């Protein structure tokens, strides 16, 4: 399978067969595609990225910064978050992204944010819901309402999750955007509420909005592929009860999130954001076994349902994700074998009862 990662200048460069360091990973993850470079020329300053200090925000913000530099377009990107880990703020600023530290649960925080016509919303809370469900509901519902009230004119791309759907039959091709949002568990229902409150406020103020239901971004430092590879490398059995999933290289997800600003509409539209393939946990475990030279142990059998979504609607407009997952598997195997850094944040993709 061949795949090309575009360089900043827009000419294709062959991707490496292995990624050796976090610096190289960040360079590849934030390398803007020609499509992104074209897209950023249409954006006016500032681009606000809210919830920018998590797993996706830093690489997203820097990829836009690099795209603007490549386009010769003077675009100010402002990353807004609580920045609970101070290193992230420094990492962004050293790469030309401005930062504002604030807690968006506080209404007063919005006064320090500049007006904008383009906004990307990444704020979310999932893990810890079992211990403190009220905080999950507050973050996922109050903040969207504050945001639309403060930026009613802004084209807004708001991240949602594939967890808004119930589990679907594994051979169904995945949930579609028109399916009923009837998931199990408090986090998933708070995520439905996040969408509904965005939608309510956007309709009230005429705000152009696109909701992106993401299923599993993969980096080498976190994600479902990493978790399967780690099990195989550690000679631990792989449980295949949750036997199938979708995922997307995080660099592609970031690029499609930013380009979705053009899809923000009144009334709002929802799109599934993930890779087109339904991936088998069992097959991937054996693939990692081959790549890592390890025997593979499998436990359990595949359940008839899984968390799957169909990205056809978004891909019809933006095109398919550019990065081949077979290549990401190779990168992941090498990363695990060479002891590459990880975030220590499990996806818990095996969860079937909605308890996070
Ligand atoms: N990554 C995935 O595979 C995946 C899959 C499905 C859906 N999503 C959705 O995509 C979005 C981005 O994903 P992610 O993985 O980057 O999420 P993440 O790692 O959880 O990051 C979310 C960010 O929001 C910030 N935040 C939370 N509450 C805040 C508040 N009150 N004020 C200001 N900032 C606040 C966090 O805090 P700090 O600033 O303190 O760090 C963090 O930077 C999330 O909404 C998530 O639900 C992601």
The domain that holds 72 is classified in CATH as 3.40.50.720
Rounded to the nearest angstrom, the distance between the alpha carbon of 124 and the centre of ligand 1 is: 4
Residue 118 burial (CB < 10 Å; 0-12/13-18/19+)? buried
In a domain, 35, yes or no: yes
| Residue 161: per-residue pLDDT | 98
Rounded to the nearest angstrom, the distance between the alpha carbon of 126 and the centre of ligand 1 is: 8
Q: What is the pLDDT of residues 108-131, one digit of tens each?
A: 999 999 999 999 999 999 988 889
Domain that residue 27 falls in: 13-216+249-275+310-318
In a domain, 7, yes or no: no
Could you give the CA distance from residue 79 to residue 58 in angstroms, rounded to a whole number? Answer: 8
In a domain, 184, yes or no: yes
How far is CA 317 from its chain centroid?
Answer: 18
Ligand 1 close to Cβ of residue 54 (< 6 A): yes
In a domain, 85, yes or no: yes
In a domain, 297, yes or no: no
Could you give the CA distance from residue 299 to residue 114 in angstroms, rounded to a whole number? Answer: 53
Q: What is the pLDDT of residues 42-68, one digit of tens each?
A: 999 999 999 999 999 999 999 999 999
| Residue 228: per-residue pLDDT | 98
Rounded to the nearest angstrom, the distance between the alpha carbon of 153 and the centre of ligand 1 is: 23
| Residue 15: per-residue pLDDT | 80
In a domain, 287, yes or no: no
Ligand 1 close to Cβ of residue 164 (< 6 A): no
Could you give the CA distance from residue 308 to residue 162 in angstroms, rounded to a whole number? Answer: 7
Ligand 1 close to Cβ of residue 196 (< 6 A): no
Per-10-residue mean pLDDT, the chain, length 356: 38 77 97 98 97 98 98 98 92 98 96 97 93 95 97 98 98 97 96 98 98 97 98 98 98 98 98 97 98 98 98 98 97 98 94 92
Residue 1 burial (CB < 10 Å; 0-12/13-18/19+)? exposed
Q: Please list, in sequence order, all residues whose beta carbon lies within 8 angstroms of the beta carbon of residue 86, skipping any fewer than 6 positions away.
A: none
Ligand 1 close to Cβ of residue 161 (< 6 A): yes
Could you give the CA distance from residue 47 to residue 40 in angstroms, rounded to a whole number? Answer: 10
Which residue's alpha carbon is at the smallest distance from atom 45 of ligand 1?
A: 124
Could you give the CA distance from residue 234 to residue 348 in angstroms, rounded to a whole number? Answer: 18
**Shortest-distance atom of ligand 1 to CA 347:** 3
Could you give the CA distance from residue 262 to residue 265 in angstroms, rounded to a whole number? Answer: 8
In a domain, 237, yes or no: no
Block residue for tokens 């030309």: 96
**Shortest-distance atom of ligand 1 to CA 123:** 24
Could you give the CA distance from residue 75 to residue 187 in angstroms, rounded to a whole number? Answer: 35
Structural domain total, the chain: 1
**Shortest-distance atom of ligand 1 to CA 217:** 3
In a domain, 56, yes or no: yes
Rounded to the nearest angstrom, the distance between the alpha carbon of 104 and the centre of ligand 1 is: 12
What letter would DSSP give residue 163? G
């Amino acid at each position: 399978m061949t795949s090309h990662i575009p360089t900043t200048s827009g000419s294709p460069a062959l991707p490496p067969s292995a990624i050796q360091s976090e610096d190289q990973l960040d360079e590849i993850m934030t390398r803007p595609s020609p499509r992104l470079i074209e897209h950023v020329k249409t954006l006016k300053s500032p681009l606000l990225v809210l919830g920018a200090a998590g797993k996706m925000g830093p690489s997203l913000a820097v990829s836009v910064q690099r795209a603007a530099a490549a386009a010769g377009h003077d675009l100010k990107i402002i990353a807004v978050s609580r920045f609970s880990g101070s290193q992230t703020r420094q990492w962004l600023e050293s790469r030309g992204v401005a930062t504002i530290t604030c807690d968006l649960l506080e209404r007063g925080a919005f006064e320090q944010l500049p007006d904008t016509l383009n906004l990307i919303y990444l704020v979310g809370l999932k893990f810890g819901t079992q211990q403190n469900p009220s905080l999950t509901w507050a973050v996922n519902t109050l903040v969207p309402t504050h945001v639309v009230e403060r930026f009613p004119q802004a084209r807004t791309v708001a991240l949602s999750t594939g967890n808004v759907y119930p589990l679907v039959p594994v051979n169904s091709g995945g949930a579609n955007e028109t399916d009923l949002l009837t998931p199990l568990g408090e986090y998933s229902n708070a995520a439905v509420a996040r969408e509904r409150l965005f939608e309510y406020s956007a309709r009230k103020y005429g705000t152009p909005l696109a909701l992106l239901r993401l299923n599993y971004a993969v980096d080498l430092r976190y994600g479902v592929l990493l978790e399967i590879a780690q099990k195989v490398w550690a000679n631990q059995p792989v449980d295949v009860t949750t036997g199938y999933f979708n995922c997307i290289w995080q660099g592609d997800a970031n690029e499609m999130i930013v380009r979705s600003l053009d899809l923000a509409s009144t009334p709002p539209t929802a799109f599934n954001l993930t890779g087109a393939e339904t991936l088998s946990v069992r097959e991937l475990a054996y693939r990692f076994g081959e790549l890592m030279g390890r025997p593979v142990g499998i436990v359990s059998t595949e359940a008839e349902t899984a968390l799957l979504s169909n990205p056809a609607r978004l891909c019809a407009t933006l095109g398919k994700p550019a990065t081949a997952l077979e290549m990401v598997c190779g990168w992941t195997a090498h990363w695990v074998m060479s002891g590459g850094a990880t975030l220590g944040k499990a996806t818990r993709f095996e969860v079937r009862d909605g308890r996070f």
